């Protein structure tokens, strides 16, 4: 299942990618053309008007409240029964699947300390960005916990 998100849901979009879900975000307004182009995806929206269009077209969607990220996140997770484990296998910038790479091949791009302490590196072929599971993972995990808890 791939998600298509309204432009206002950037925060949610990033988190879905952290959890390993494939997503695309609409840069502008969701027009009928956009709806048709992405009709096989699951739409996440906050606009009742867009909901009407999707309903008529028989396309799967979830209408989220115009509320905090936490409120939207919890509703989405509960309604669709999504996993809430950090996967970090998708580029959070562009949504492409990351490719595991050998660090030796990317030595020039990696700070020496990082090179020394980490062995798992992932690469986004679209953004040409290298990811590794550094200290920021702990911060992400804590943030995730605070998003999920009551
Ligand atoms: Zn990318």
Mean pLDDT of the chain: 95
Partners of residue 23 on adjacent β-strands = 3
Using the mean position of ligand 1's atoms as its centre, give its distance from the Cα of residue 64 in Å.
Answer: 26
Using the mean position of ligand 1's atoms as its centre, give its distance from the Cα of residue 99 in Å.
Answer: 11
Per-residue confidence band for 135, with pLDDT thresholds at 50, 70 and 90:
confident
Using the mean position of ligand 1's atoms as its centre, give its distance from the Cα of residue 112 in Å.
Answer: 23
Per-residue confidence band for 81, with pLDDT thresholds at 50, 70 and 90:
very high
Contact in structure between 42 and 1 (CB atoms under 8 Å): yes
Residue 48, pLDDT above cutoff 80: yes
Residue 105, pLDDT above cutoff 80: yes
Residue 150, pLDDT above cutoff 90: no
What pLDDT, in 10s, does the model give residues 112-125? 999 999 999 999 99
Using the mean position of ligand 1's atoms as its centre, give its distance from the Cα of residue 109 in Å.
Answer: 16
Per-residue confidence band for 133, with pLDDT thresholds at 50, 70 and 90:
confident
Using the mean position of ligand 1's atoms as its centre, give its distance from the Cα of residue 90 in Å.
Answer: 8
Using the mean position of ligand 1's atoms as its centre, give its distance from the Cα of residue 139 in Å.
Answer: 21
Contact in structure between 104 and 115 (CB atoms under 8 Å): no
Using the mean position of ligand 1's atoms as its centre, give its distance from the Cα of residue 131 in Å.
Answer: 10
**Entry pTM:** 0.92
Domain boundaries in the chain? 2-80, 99-148
Contacts of 72-81 with CB under 8 Å at 24 or more apart are: 72/9, 72/12, 72/46, 73/12, 73/15, 73/147, 73/148, 74/147, 74/148, 76/12, 76/44, 77/148, 80/42
Mean pLDDT of 47-65: 97
Quick one: pLDDT at residue 41? 98
């Amino acid at each position: 299942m791939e998600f298509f998100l309204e432009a206002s849901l950037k925060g949610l979009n990033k988190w879905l990618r952290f959890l390993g879900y494939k997503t695309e975000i609409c840069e502008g307004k969701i027009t009928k053309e956009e709806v048709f182009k992405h009709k096989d995806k699951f739409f996440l929206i906050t606009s009742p008007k867009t909901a009407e269009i999707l309903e008529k077209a028989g396309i799967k969607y979830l209408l989220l409240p115009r509320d905090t990220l936490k409120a939207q996140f919890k509703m989405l997770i509960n309604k669709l029964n999504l996993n809430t484990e950090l996967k970090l296998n998708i580029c959070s910038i562009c949504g492409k699947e990351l490719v595991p790479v050998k660090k030796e091949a990317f030595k020039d791009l990696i700070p020496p300390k990082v090179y020394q302490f980490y062995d798992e590196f992932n690469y986004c072929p679209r953004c040409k960005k290298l990811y590794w599971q550094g200290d920021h993972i702990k911060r992400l995990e804590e943030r995730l916990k605070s998003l999920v808890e009551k």
